[in-house]
Amino acid sequence: MTQKILEILIPTYLRPQAAIAAIDSVLAAADQRVAVACHSNCPDLELELAAKQRPALRYGSFPENRGAVANFRKMLEESRGDYVMFLSDEDRIDHKHLGSFVNFLSGKQYGFVLCNIVESSGAQYFSITSLQIEMLSAHDLLVLFTLHPTYLSGYCFRRDLLSEELISANFESDDSNVYPHLLLRNAIAGYESVGLFAGDIIIKGVEANFGGDSHSHVAQSAAVKHNHHQQYLNPRIYGQGARARQLYYLVPRLEMWLKGSSVFRRGYVNFYVLSAWLNITHDAHKHVDAMTDIPSLRATIGDYKSANKRMSGLIGSYNRILLMKSVVLRGMVIKVMWQLAKLVKLILFIRRFGFARTRAFVAGKGD
């Protein structure tokens, strides 16, 4: 069998029709240099039948739901391409640009590759075209794209770098590890170059109201009932307490990435992460279901403080701000910090890429 340059990995859970559409978007390119694999977090008869009808598809499933991270990890461990790229089952590959993307990867030695994501409406979701470069340094990635993009689709890694130890370290089965692809990216970027592909390779689909970890708390009957309305997200992932636990998980790894960095870089990245996480934590209640069996934000912070007598300055600041008694003052502090963090980031972009490219980048929803 000819070695594939790119293997596209489609993890899925309870969304067989969406996954089949994602699979077919890859197969439509009919590019012999590209392989496609799909793995379900539970047995799925519809996907099993689809796999039998599509000999080019490599398909598998867990006997029961083991969580999204376990599914991602399984797919990485079994992947075979020179490069591997994740594709959410809600999204599609633009087969018109797939050949160009494979050409871009051919013969290159990028450790990780970022690419454009376009909405199904044609609007840009994430675009790096205006930056007009094909490679990004580890310094630029960590400072300018610290937590961005968090979206799974389009994350592309060079397979020979993904040792068992590296996969295990970043795809740890922990409820607070919800962005393992971001962790893996930053771990690789410390010693490998980052490629930028300017084509619109990923087509972002309309968010599903059922299935996946985002909606695993919703019964299918409820999802059908609310099919025309945005469903609230899973509070075990997107709730305020969950967001706090995710930051506690992230910070030790952030400190490891920043070892040897300048005082300014460490200070800015820590401030940006603090401001961003305060913002998403503060607003989390707007997007999630209310569930009484989930620890509140205050309880989560209390548990962390009890278990950790010493904590980093970032986490200490995060906890203190979120425990401010005045809701109005807390909201104002978080808003001002987030606006300041974005302003500093904008200035850093202008210093790196100039005003014209930065303006085009922002207009194209690069950030």
The pLDDT of residue 142: 86
Contact 125, 119 (CB under 8 A): yes
The pair of three-digit structure tokens given for residue 36, joined into one six-digit string: 């496609």
Q: What is the pTM of this model?
A: 0.90
Q: Are residues 239 and 340 in the same domain?
A: yes
Q: Count of domains in the chain?
A: 2
Q: Are residues 264 and 126 in the same domain?
A: no
Which tens digits make up the pLDDT trace of 225-235?
344 445 577 78
**What is the rounded distance in angstroms from the CA atom of residue 178 to the CA atom of residue 47?**
25
Q: Are residues 199 and 239 in the same domain?
A: no
Give mean pLDDT, residues 292-298.
77
Residue 149 lies in a domain: yes
Helix (H, G, I), strand (E, B) or coil at 356: helix
Which residue(s) pair with 84 in the sheet? 7, 157
Q: Are residues 184 and 271 in the same domain?
A: no
Residue 339 lies in a domain: yes
**% the chain with pLDDT above 70:** 91
Give mean pLDDT, residues 283-292.
72
Which tens digits make up the pLDDT trace of 89-110?
999 999 999 999 999 999 788 9
Q: Are residues 190 and 291 in the same domain?
A: no
Which tens digits make up the pLDDT trace of 145-199?
988 889 999 999 999 999 999 999 999 989 899 999 999 999 888 788 899 998 8
Q: Are residues 238 and 198 in the same domain?
A: no
Q: Give the CATH number for residue 159.
A: 3.90.550.10
Q: Are residues 193 and 239 in the same domain?
A: no
Which tens digits make up the pLDDT trace of 235-281?
888 889 999 999 999 999 998 888 878 899 899 999 999 999 999 99
Residue 133 lies in a domain: yes
Residue 1 lies in a domain: no
Domain that holds residue 89: 6-204
The pLDDT of residue 137: 87
Residue 347 lies in a domain: yes
**What is the rounded distance in angstroms from the CA atom of residue 231 to the CA atom of residue 223?**
7
Q: Are residues 161 and 254 in the same domain?
A: no
**What is the rounded distance in angstroms from the CA atom of residue 196 to the CA atom of residue 129?**
8
Q: Are residues 51 and 133 in the same domain?
A: yes
